[in-house]
Structure 1
């Protein structure tokens, strides 16, 4: 293998997965993360069976399964009447058919698995405080240009720097993210604060008028992830912005009290 490293801009799940995959093929990899430490924002992720096939290829399948909750059903509920519309059984037949379970994990827990795998691999160098603002390339090399003025050069550069990727903007110039007209509010609550009759081992979606609510257990059933979305035509894009309980409730006033009870148990909402 050639000595020049592969440079990856972005140390999220995508960037670290690419790093460990390349490292296990014998490549030297340098990951450049803008933040001062490797961490992941957000809460829950739903993982279909193919995700575990991919984790197995990276030799991280057992670690991923150890942090996952294997849910039994996907449930679709009517947020106005509180009646079940339909459900999909994800147990024995599903797992035999697809060779792996359907599961949910905490994003931070999954990210941590990739961080530790990269830290343990001799071919991966993890760097922090590296704000990639652009790149340069020629026929033999590509360089990540950092805000600090430093240039990090390798045989190629992978842009995994997120929604507002500087790499993508320079490459194709597709502009800022479009505002879709929806706002998603997120909270994680202790399981004992979730209404007892809704503590289902399921990924549940309540569908209402211009809104929906999603919840499922995480982290060994210690907490429930709440992600609720309404169509409220926000004027600007934002992420991880703290919001009041009143703002959250405003988009869900017409849902059934059973569904609304979930919102009342949410704390420290972020949009």
Structure 2
């Protein structure tokens, strides 16, 4: 009750600062206890690079402290979202929280590179940008320098222009493509009494992190890390200029109509080239 009363008396700026401090404690603790940590080419709202972190830990005082930090982060997120529903999107990555699983018998950590795509409309983009503008307006009040204040004010101006442009064609379709990143997958098994091991359970690790608490029978040899490198292939998205927005999301937006035009052009080019490829003699290139 005392904690709830204290939260109710805090301003939105204070709640935001409280969340920032809680996030920093969690990220530091995850970094210290990390079994595997892969950097992502993205940054959080505080300018810190994001990572996908897996912590495979035993039950001890350090783990109890880490779990306490996670609970404090969850409380800070809930308080900020409750008070600032007009400023923050609850589905935003800044509110993601680490997943905790317990009593694990075996762990296999592997990596791959992937990107996801989904369709959004101009109206949906305008709504997201409005929320981003509200957040910037909150940050302007707490700007630590004139340069930072000016940067935020310019972003707000750009955002208002973008909202107007997207609302001119509210039903127009765009593709939201996540930036290709190293995906970290943790596959775990649990001990099932005298019946042996459970089936594999798959966990995709987000920037919030994954904490795996080992069971008593989990030995160091039961924890395997396979860090594979995947060759990135050229995509149709490399041939289209992205749509500019002020959104701080780990994704890029593209005009769906432009993508269709490029796709059709590539299809026509392949059709035109059918039958034009000539077989080379085994002697081509030899000087006689």
Using structure 2 for the length normalisation, give the TM-score.
Answer: 0.22
Whichever structure has more strand as a proportion of its residues is: 1
Larger of the two Rg values belongs to structure: 2
Using structure 1 for the length normalisation, give the TM-score.
Answer: 0.23
More relative contact order, 1 or 2 (CA 8 Å, 6+ apart): 2
